[in-house]
A = this chain, B = another copy of it.
Amino acid sequence: MDIEVLFVTGNRHKVIEAEAVLREFGIRVKPISVARKIEIQHDSLEEIARFAAVEAYKQVEAPVLVEDSGLFIEKLNGFPGPYSSYVYKTIGVRGVLKLMEDYKDWESRKAKFVCIVAYALSETDVKIFRGEAEGYISFDARGSSGFGFDPIFIPQGTTKTFAEMSIGEKSLYSHRGKAFRAFGEWLVKSHTNKWKSL
């Protein structure tokens, strides 16, 4: 299988993580930028990704992949959620740790990372793939791999933060790894079916 998909993103970390997963399916990732990447303000990541995928499709006029993800902290009512990137740029890891200061036990530090991969095949046909990683907000920032809030998120089943993992290890646990694996499986299957139906 040799397939190439166009991935609309300006984040090289996301490209590397997508490649690490999709390579196994024989899928190559081509990062592209569009003139206007429109992300709407919405509490649902899925709606944001769906809208962005359709807008990108209109500009590229070919099937395109869009990804959106966010960190949802239970005791903060889902904050920073869909606005994780803006929150990272402003108050950062330090700000989120400050907000969590009064939550002293692991149970109260529960959080999840969610990733939505939206693949627009036309202006009206958008396939959605969702990946979630449940875990906890650490008490200190640890590690220097990855990006964003990776240094303060410990997925369930390990004691490391995402930023203490290699890309391969992170992909096993991560929301992004799961969403891209679901996408890869679907894409391979749909290509195989197309082949069979010829």
Chain A positions near chain B (C-beta within 8 angstroms): 38-41, 43, 48, 76-83, 86-87, 89-91, 95, 98-99, 101-102
Indicate the member of A40, A78, A87 with the most B CB atoms within 10 Å: A40
Q: Across the interface, do B79 and A43 meet the contact criterion of CB distance under 8 Å?
A: no
Please state the number of chain copies in the assembly: 2
Chain B residue nearest to A83 (CB atoms) is B83
On whether A95 and B86 interact (CB within 8 A), knowing A40-B40, A40-B41, A41-B41, the answer reads no
Q: Could you tell me the distance between the alpha carbons of A198 and B78 in the complex, rounded to whole angstroms? A: 56
By beta carbon, the residue of chain B nearest A55 is: B40
**Residue on B with the closest CB to A90?**
B79
A41 to B80, CA, bound (A): 14
Say how far A75's CB is from chain B's closest CB, in angstroms. 10
Are B89 and A77 touching (Cβ within 8 A)?
yes
Q: Closest chain B residue to A38 by CB distance?
A: B40
